[in-house]
């Protein structure tokens, strides 16, 4: 199991809990911390570490988060230096590793209550003490002065249970969000299509002795071998070829011609930033994100024509199954009322959203934006997707002043959102009455453990395992938006944005310090 870092910061949380209990009982504030410290120091160190990890895991739901994002899949780190470096070391070996059960242990001292549960001596939903604007200001204002941040620096922290802002600094100013715009993309796709929606890839008859491979926009369609041990598999061209070959042989067809239809998307396929190793041309039909180097994640050279490449791969798979494909596959429109031969379906949209957010996958992001467009009856293009995202967020009564959605991935510097919008998106996704949006929260990387936060928060015990956040980094742009349970057990959401930075690593550390300060704060 990953190390829980030093215990000193956790000890501060124990002190705060002891002081709160002492005040409630009318005892002197200094007596309980001293007694608790002596009792704590008398406990063997390995037992201290076990209790610390048990309490932190219970409060943050870390085990649930890791299980939700454990499934591997193709992803891309985006146009960003830090996230690209983090992606390079993600080899599937990180995450929790549990030893054999050592037997029953004493109950851990109450450092944090279970997420959403009441604190001792209180009752009702969200009964943990509410942080105040002044208390959070004392903790965050000095950190916002960090010279590593750029000239534009904004912040918004909201209390989920109360549904109100508890800290703000320039929170309504629109800024370049980089990859944190994926939060808006995810909310719009889930609100429009629903978390259980799946994307079809289909083979239909296109005429006598001709079939058409029809792409529906599944960004995780693969031609690789099935993943061993995975509970659910992404849609696979091999499975589709198996079913197609059986259907053709049933019709006594062993020689056919093959066309492909990627017309579910419209408009330009190339992102406005131009050809880029962080994103394939955006088409409704592609396999393995059109990668040319057999990689599964990170920047990679891409096929210039992903749809044509997927069709050629499909032709080879049919040939291996006894079906002769006459000539090269060609682009064609499927019949309006097709005779369907075979279909494979993507993982549910909820799983695609989680994978996109955990690994900052640009290809999935652009596909989800187009799913929002299709569900809103907008053209499935960059422009249509932007309109669809804005429409979906407006229906949720979110603050859209100055917002611009030029793409779904955040690679376009024309994107604009405010810290207030990002925090409200997360608060809405966390609210009990918006269960369909919950994958936005469960898909967020966990600080020091998963996704694009796996290598951040080193030495920051207050944030490690407690902060769950989406990162965003372009040259000169750094953002962080997510959720955290503070030291009193209160669920908060936050967004920190800065533009004009010259030290990307320093800016990331400054943003991480802000989130850790919220985690460590009982700011009243």
- Active-site residues, by number, are 179, 182, 360
Alpha carbon 480 to chain centroid, angstroms: 12
Beta carbons of 371 and 167 less than 8 angstroms apart: no
Sheet holding 491-499, edge to edge: 164-169, 152-159, 491-499, 477-485, 468-474
Task: Work out the angle at residue 470's Cα, subtended by the Cα atoms of residues 356 and 386, and round it to the nearest 5 degrees.
Answer: 60
Beta carbons of 368 and 356 less than 8 angstroms apart: yes
d(CA 91, CA 80): 19
Mind giving me the DSSP string for 264-303? TS-S-SS-TT-SBTTB----S--SGGGBSS--SBSS--B-
Residue 422, C-beta contacts closer than 8 angstroms, at least 6 positions apart: 156, 177, 180, 183, 184, 479, 481, 495, 497
CB-neighbour burial class of residue 228 (10 A; exposed 0-12, middle 13-18, buried 19+): exposed
Beta carbons of 86 and 77 less than 8 angstroms apart: yes
Closest CA to 514 of 148, 104, 236: 148
CA 344 to each of CA 80, 202, 213, 326: distance values in angstroms, whole numbers, following the listed order: 33, 7, 11, 24
Alpha carbon 117 to chain centroid, angstroms: 25
Task: Tell me how crowded residue 56 is: count the other CB atoms within 10 A of its CB.
Answer: 22
Closest CA to 102 of 50, 45, 42: 50
Nearest-10 crossing angle of helices 237-250, 306-320: 50
Residue 218 per-residue DSSP state: -
């Amino acid at each position: 199991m990953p190390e829980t870092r030093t215990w000193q910061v956790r000890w501060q949380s124990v002190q705060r809990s002891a002081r709160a209990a002492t005040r409630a009982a009318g005892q002197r504030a200094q007596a309980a911390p001293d007694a608790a410290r002596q009792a704590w120091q008398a406990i063997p160190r390995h037992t201290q570490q076990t209790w610390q990890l048990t309490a932190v895991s219970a409060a943050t739901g870390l085990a649930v988060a890791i299980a939700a994002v454990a499934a591997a899949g193709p992803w891309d780190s985006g146009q960003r230096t830090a996230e690209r470096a983090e992606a390079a070391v993600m080899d599937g070996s990180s995450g929790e590793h549990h030893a054999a059960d050592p037997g029953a242990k004493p109950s851990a001292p109450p450092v944090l209550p279970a997420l959403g549960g009441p604190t001792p001596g209180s009752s009702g939903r969200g009964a943990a003490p509410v942080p105040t604007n002044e208390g959070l200001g004392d903790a965050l204002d000095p950190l916002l002065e960090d010279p590593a941040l750029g000239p534009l620096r904004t912040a918004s922290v909201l209390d989920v249970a109360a549904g109100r802002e508890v800290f703000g600094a320039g929170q309504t100013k629109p800024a370049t969000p980089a990859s944190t715009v994926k939060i808006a993309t995810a909310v719009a796709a889930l609100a429009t299509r629903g978390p259980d929606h799946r994307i079809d890839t289909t083979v239909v008859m296109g005429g006598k002795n001709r079939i058409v491979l029809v792409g529906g926009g599944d960004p995780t369609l693969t031609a690789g071998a099935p993943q061993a041990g995975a509970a659910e598999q992404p849609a696979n061209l091999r499975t589709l070829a198996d079913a197609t070959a059986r259907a053709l042989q049933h019709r006594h067809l062993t020689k056919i011609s093959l066309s492909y239809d990627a017309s579910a998307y419209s408009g330009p396929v190339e992102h406005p930033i131009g050809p880029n190793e962080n994103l394939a041309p955006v088409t409704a039909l592609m396999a393995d994100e059109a990668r040319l180097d057999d990689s599964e994640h990170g920047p990679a050279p891409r096929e210039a024509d992903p749809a044509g490449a997927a069709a050629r791969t499909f032709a080879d798979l049919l040939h291996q199954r006894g079906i002769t494909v006459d000539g090269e596959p060609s682009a064609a429109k499927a019949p309006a009322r097709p005779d369907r031969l075979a279909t494979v379906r993507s993982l549910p949209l909820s799983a695609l959203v989680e994978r996109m957010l955990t690994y900052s996958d640009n290809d999935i992001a652009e596909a989800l934006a187009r799913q929002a467009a299709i569900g809103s009856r907008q053209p499935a293009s960059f422009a249509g997707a932007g309109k669809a995202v804005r429409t979906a967020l407006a229906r949720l009564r979110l603050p859209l002043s100055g917002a611009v959605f030029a793409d779904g991935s955040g690679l376009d510097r024309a994107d604009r959102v405010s810290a207030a919008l990002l925090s409200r998106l997360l608060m809405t996704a966390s609210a009990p009455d918006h269960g369909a949006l919950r994958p936005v929260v469960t898909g967020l990387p966990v600080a020091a453990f998963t996704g694009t936060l796996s290598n951040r928060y080193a030495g920051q015990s207050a944030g490690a395992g407690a902060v769950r956040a989406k990162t965003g980094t372009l040259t000169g742009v750094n953002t962080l938006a997510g959720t955290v349970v503070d030291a009193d057990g209160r669920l908060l959401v936050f967004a920190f944005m800065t533009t004009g930075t010259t030290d990307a690593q320093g800016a990331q550390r400054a943003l991480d310090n802000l989130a850790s300060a919220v985690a460590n704060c009982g700011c009243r």
